[in-house]
Structure 1
Amino acid sequence: MRTSTFSLTSLPLFLLLFFFFFFFSLKAITAKNLIPETCKKCVQDDPNLSYKFCVTSLQAAPKSSSSDVRQLGTISMNLIRHNMTSTRQHIKHLLKNTKLDKFLRVYLEDCLDLYSNAIPDIKKALRSYKAKQFRDANVRVSGVCDAPVTCEDGFHEREGLVSPLTKRNNDAVQLSAIALSIINMLGSLGFKLI
């Protein structure tokens, strides 16, 4: 009788290889689908958040495709910081225009102050988040979110005045909504990582 080349001693090696490939292919599928799934949850938390904006923003960040939810939270806060810094620079550039309407200048100066104050706050929020102090991170991101809202509202106080920052302000609010949703997801899990 002929013996099989596949013996019982080969079985553990075969199973090990099978589980190894299965685990890593499953992990790749999970990472690939994590951003859309996270954004679906974020949109459920905040119906004013655009699903497309959420997915596009997170996917644009380097290494986001292999990130877990906690890392996506860090990415979202870094995106807020980048938006705030960029908007602050844009406001400074607009204020260099000597022919700027005097009322527009006043509101832009207010926005510059709001964004300047929000930048250190988002940095503190990120430190709190990394330390798993989700309640503190939530409070700080909520405060940061007030800056673009207050900035945009200021332009609407004067009839006929058009905000040159509407898109940037809206983006900052959307990015803040993403971060707040992720913070709340992690916080509701009893500070566990998912």
Structure 2
Amino acid sequence: MKSSALSLFSLISVAVLLHHAAPSIASLEETCKQLAKENNNVDYNFCLTSLQAFDGAPSASPKELAVIAVKLTQANATAALSKIERLLNGSTLDPTARFSINYCLGLYTETKVALSNVIEGLASGKDKSFLVMQIDTAASKPQNCDDLLYEGANDYLMNPEDDDCSDLATIAHDLIVKFF
């Protein structure tokens, strides 16, 4: 009797765990679908693969996904700053490209400050308008870098980083607007 009761308990425990795990995964997928449906600038596959890469995302609530998206944007901006510093220190850029990359250094520095403000604001319960203003700054600065480099025919230097940072910030923006 004890064995069958233990087996029944184990079976129920597994069923409960599966019941709670499945909606979480579906929640991430549904959240990305919803964001992509509501905003043409959000790509479903990019949203899903980017957020899934973060440990804990499949079981995260939409509010937690917003924090994850901000942290992913911050990691991307940090990597972009490292690339900018490598370009400035180690390559033979023409004067126009050097000026543009140096300007991008400032833009990404502003992006990181804005993202830090968002993370602190989320943790301390700042109002939504503050969070949206900061995340909008984080989304626009990399695109300004991309535009500047494109005008100088140097967009290849930072294009993937600029696009990814802007796209991640857009996902974070939409999550903040929708769930905070």
Aligned length in residues: 174
Kindly state the Cα deviation for residue 84 of structure 1 after the two structures are TM-superposed.
Answer: 0.6
User: Which residue pairs with 2:102 in the alignment?
Assistant: 109
Aligned-residue Cα RMSD (Å) equals: 2.2
**Partners of 2:141 and 2:84 in 1: CA distance:** 13
Kindly state the Cα deviation for residue 48 of structure 1 after the two structures are TM-superposed.
Answer: 1.7
Deviates more, 1:117-126 or 1:78-87: 117-126
Sequence identity percentage: 23
User: Which residue pairs with 2:142 in the alignment?
Assistant: 148
Q: What one-letter code is carried by the residue in structure 2 that aligns with 1:109? A: N
Once the two structures are superposed, residues 113-167 of structure 1 have per-residue CA deviations (whole angstroms, 9 ceiling, x without a partner) of: 1101211210111121233432211110001111111101112223x44431011
Report the 3-state secondary structure (helix = DSSP H, G, I; strand = E; otherwise coil) of the residue aligned with 1:179: helix
Please show how residues 1-194 of structure 1 align to structure 2 within 5 Å. 23-133=16-126, 134-158=128-152, 160-187=153-180
Kindly state the Cα deviation for residue 31 of structure 1 after the two structures are TM-superposed.
Answer: 1.0
Kindly state the Cα deviation for residue 22 of structure 1 after the two structures are TM-superposed.
Answer: 5.2
Q: What one-letter code is carried by the residue in structure 1 that aligns with 2:159? A: T
Deviates more, 1:128-137 or 1:28-37: 128-137
Kindly state the Cα deviation for residue 68 of structure 1 after the two structures are TM-superposed.
Answer: 1.2
TM-score relative to the length of structure 1: 0.81
TM-score relative to the length of structure 2: 0.87
Kindly state the Cα deviation for residue 17 of structure 1 after the two structures are TM-superposed.
Answer: 9.0
**Partners of 2:10 and 2:45 in 1: CA distance:** 38
User: Which residue pairs with 1:8 in the alignment?
Assistant: none
Residue pair 2:32, 2:44 contacting (<8 A) in 1 also? yes
Give the 4+ runs in structure 1 shifted more than 6 A. 16-20
Residue pair 1:73, 1:183 contacting (<8 A) in 2 also? yes
**Partners of 1:61 and 1:156 in 2: CA distance:** 31
Structure label with greater radius of gyration: 1
Once the two structures are superposed, residues 81-101 of structure 1 have per-residue CA deviations (whole angstroms, 9 ceiling, x without a partner) of: 101111001000011135211
Report the 3-state secondary structure (helix = DSSP H, G, I; strand = E; otherwise coil) of the residue aligned with 2:157: coil
Residue pair 1:152, 1:165 contacting (<8 A) in 2 also? yes
Report the 3-state secondary structure (helix = DSSP H, G, I; strand = E; otherwise coil) of the residue aligned with 1:124: helix
